[in-house]
Chain A
Amino acid sequence: MSVSGHPSERLVPYLRNELAAAERAAVEGHVGGCAECRAALADFAALAERLARAPEPAPSIHWGAFRAELREALARRAGSPGRPRRWSLGPLPAALAAGLAAIVLYLAMPGQNLRAPGGDQALVEDAMLASRLDLIKELDLVQRLDLLEDFDVIGRLDRLEPSSQG
């Protein structure tokens, strides 16, 4: 029984014949003397019946295509050793790493007299690398450059006026 004294949350299970005998008898006893619950019960029954028979408004899809896509996805998963690793870095960081390696090689070439007086070559290289760390700091941004595209313009490309210069 709810706080209000009405067995509100048992009305639908009652309609579905899901209550234990004692609960069912209690609901029946209450509904017999409560016009409010009797009306709710009748309306819930009508709603449930209409929901069961009313055509579903879900948009239709092509089931042949659905199964074909599913088979392809299944084959892809079966063919791969595992799900893609989330930390896979892709080609851009590889290009950055190659660039950094080229810088180090350049600095290591004979004639690049960057040796600090009495210092260590490794320290110099570290200093050079540190000066380029801003590239790595912005790695997250570089990887998401597509987010900077103007989606507003893309969204109305078909409505843009043609340029006078062709």
Chain B
Amino acid sequence: MVSSIGRMIINSIKEAVGLTALLLDIVYWIVIAPFCGKLIHVRTVFYQMMFVGVRSALIVFFVTFFTGMVLAMQSAYQLEQMGATIYVASLVAVSLCRELGPVLTALVIAGRVGSSIAAELGTMKVSEQIEALEIMAINPVRFLAAPRFIALFFMQPCLTVLGNIAGMFGGFIVGVYSLNIKPELYIQTGFKFLALKDIYTGVAKSFVFALIIALVGCYEGLNTKGGAEGVGRATTQSVVLSFILIILADCVLTAIFYFSGV
């Protein structure tokens, strides 16, 4: 029991050190190396942006759209008793922009993109493709991890904003067609209580989530050991670890925003 807890702690520390080292490595290749003439492949970045952003848009839309609907119905159930159904609009808007939009989008992307990064890089690792790159003097972090990192870093906030809009649209549908709130009134109340800071704190969170997803996916992929089983383990581990880290980061960031009065 004690030894297994000890092993768990040691493994967590190892993982934390590995993730930090990879982050520094990626930052080096993105920020410093281009000045030494080692550029990131722009084509790969755009290709990854297509995969991460454009092809994930639909699933993000649906997840947040239905969440917005559920949120409207659940809050209407409570607010009805006080005769305050009209505030459904602001409740949906604020809770989506501050919290649910960024987090749900991040979880969807961690499941869709993070896992696929881990699986792809993991397969490359076990089939000696990563070693082949190294022998060709091509750094795998520059060639594989950095473009994925950049793509996620720019697409995640875009997807989050899309998620916010889709969720509010879902709430709007319920508000107008089921709770019989006038459309103009719904929109007016929605935006009345939605401050600009609600939106940018949410978007700020999404940058951190993007960093977590890309980092964990690349780390688990590049450190895959064994054959097919190892790739499976890396994929699962990437999803589990990024889920935990996303929720943890969300808690920390929310506390920071809350206590600093943002």
The judgment on whether A and B are partners is: no
